[in-house]
Amino acid sequence: MDRPRPTSIVVRRFSVSELLEVLNCQKPMPKELAASIRLLREQHGIGYADLAFYLAESDPPYGLCVGLGKGLAELAEIYYSQNKQSED
């Protein structure tokens, strides 16, 4: 019986400290990070907690994952909406 193969996902991983700097607006969101978040959320349906695990080089504490993933996803949407407006 043919079963669908799981889709492989390859994205650049960032240090937890770098992700937190982006989340705290101490550092601008890199375009590559915003693109990875959009890919993982829209095309692969990755949830907020799993998003932090996919993006972090080392596993962040689980309690941090949901907030980190949600905050980064929202910042990625802001990044795309601002860049879309500047192109218009």
Q: What is the pLDDT along the chain (88 residues), one digit of tens a residue?
A: 455 555 677 788 999 999 999 999 999 999 999 999 999 999 888 999 889 889 999 888 888 889 999 999 999 999 988 887 666 5
Task: Report how far residue 56's alpha carbon sits from residue 15's, in angstroms, rounded to the nearest whole number.
Answer: 6
Break the chain into its structural domains and give their ranges.
16-87
Lookup: tokens for 11: 């994205």
Task: Report how far residue 34's alpha carbon sits from residue 39's, in angstroms, rounded to the nearest whole number.
Answer: 9
pLDDT on residue 67: 92
Stated pTM of the model: 0.81
Lookup: tokens for 15: 């240090």
The 10s digit of each residue's pLDDT in 56-72 is 998 888 888 899 999 99
pLDDT on residue 25: 92
